[in-house]
DNA sequence: TCGTGATTTCACGAATTATCGAATTGGGGA
DNA sequence: TCCCCAATTCGATAATTCGTGAAATCACGA
């Protein structure tokens, strides 16, 4: 993952409603949720939700698909995994990352 | 880590110069870097750098300390580790997180 | 004490982001 | 076909963020 896309993904998650939406999607699993369900869960205007969901899709964190007359959003685990990998690679100061239990990050890779 | 502070940290990293600055700090290790060195490395106006560094400090990602007449900034590995932990906990859909090698994230904890 | 270098704070304009209501599109079902 | 229902797009506005130069602060050494 490059720094530029890391910034895009971080920016997509750096908003209360979007982080909440993504967590909902993760919780819902691979099938994701319909836009209407997300709107109901987040308790914001439909147009606002659409705006935020579009940002998640744009950042690659969510995948949009039509199911009948509703539109479903599913989480993209790969993008999140790459973000975490990027952060872990930038987390270690050379002595290993003692703050993330179970993660063996040794190499401070800085392109 | 709560969602609110996760958003603060994500927001602090979701900016080109701030992400670059934090990576510099991580690379520099526990001693960190003087503000002037960071300004030189990022090639931005001193006031802009000060603005961004203040955001990192405010989010808890960096620690500020005076050394002589210069001010040093050091990375806070704990905050980054907690953020990664938060993301990992929200990364798994229940089938384990296959995208982060070495990380055993099984429980989709949603407070 | 006085000057000097290192940083931050202040003030301000430009750009981006967030939110909402209204109008619009796109698919079923009667 | 005609009518709903789900969701998005549009248009406008409020709020936030970013970048910069000028001024203030802070600590050190002569």
Interface touch B7/A27, C-beta < 8 Å:
no
- Residue B99 predicted with pLDDT over 70: no
- Only one residue has tokens 């971080």, namely A10
The string of pLDDT tens digits covering residues A99-111 is 444 444 433 433 4
Mean pLDDT, residues A46-73: 97
CA atoms within 13 A on the CB side of B18: 25
**Nearest C-alpha neighbor of A15 from the set B79, B4, B82, B49:** B4
Q: What is the pTM of this model?
A: 0.86
Average pLDDT of the residues of chain B: 86
Asked whether the beta carbons of A31 and A63 are under 8 A apart, the reply is no
**Least confident stretch, A36-40, A73-77, B105-109:** B105-109
- Residue B109 predicted with pLDDT over 70: no
Query: Which residues are CB-contacts of B18 (< 8 A; sequence separation ≥ 6)?
Result: B12, B52, B55, B56
At residue A91, the pLDDT reads 59
d(CA A33, CA B41) in angstroms, rounded, equals 44
CA atoms within 13 A on the CB side of B89: 15
Q: What percent of chain A has pLDDT over 90?
A: 77
At residue A92, the pLDDT reads 56
- Residues of chain B with Cβ-Cβ distance to A27 below 8 Å are 93, 108, 110
With a 7 Å cutoff on the CB, does A51 touch strand D? yes
What the block records as the tokens of B66 is 């005076």
pLDDT band of A15, cuts 50, 70, 90: very high
- Residues of chain A with Cβ-Cβ distance to B91 below 8 Å are 26, 77, 80-81, 84
Nucleotide C4, nearest residue via CA and C1': B69
Query: Which residues are CB-contacts of B3 (< 8 A; sequence separation ≥ 6)?
Result: A16, A19, A20, A23, B111
**Least confident stretch, A49-58, A101-110, B53-62:** A101-110
d(CA B5, CA A44) in angstroms, rounded, equals 21
Q: Please tell me whether residue A30 adopts helix, strand or coil conformation.
A: coil
The string of pLDDT tens digits covering residues A60-91 is 999 999 999 999 999 999 999 999 999 998 75
- Residues of chain B with Cβ-Cβ distance to A97 below 8 Å are 77, 81
Residue ranges of chain A whose CB lies within 8 Å of a chain B CB:
3-4, 6-7, 10-11, 13-16, 19-20, 22-23, 26-27, 29-30, 75, 77-78, 80-85, 87-88, 90-94, 97-104, 108, 110
At residue B90, the pLDDT reads 78
At residue B111, the pLDDT reads 40
């Amino acid at each position: 993952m490059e720094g530029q896309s890391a910034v895009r993904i971080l920016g997509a998650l750096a908003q209360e409603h979007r982080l909440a939406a993504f967590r909902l999607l993760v919780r819902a699993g691979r099938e994701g949720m319909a836009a209407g369900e997300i709107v109901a869960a987040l308790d914001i205007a439909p147009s606002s939700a659409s705006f935020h969901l579009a940002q998640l899709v744009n950042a690659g964190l969510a995948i949009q698909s039509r199911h009948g007359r509703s539109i479903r959003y599913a989480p993209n685990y790969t993008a999140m995994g790459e973000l975490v990998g990027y952060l872990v690679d930038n987390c270690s100061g050379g002595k290993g990352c003692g703050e993330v239990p179970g993660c063996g990050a040794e190499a401070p890779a800085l392109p």
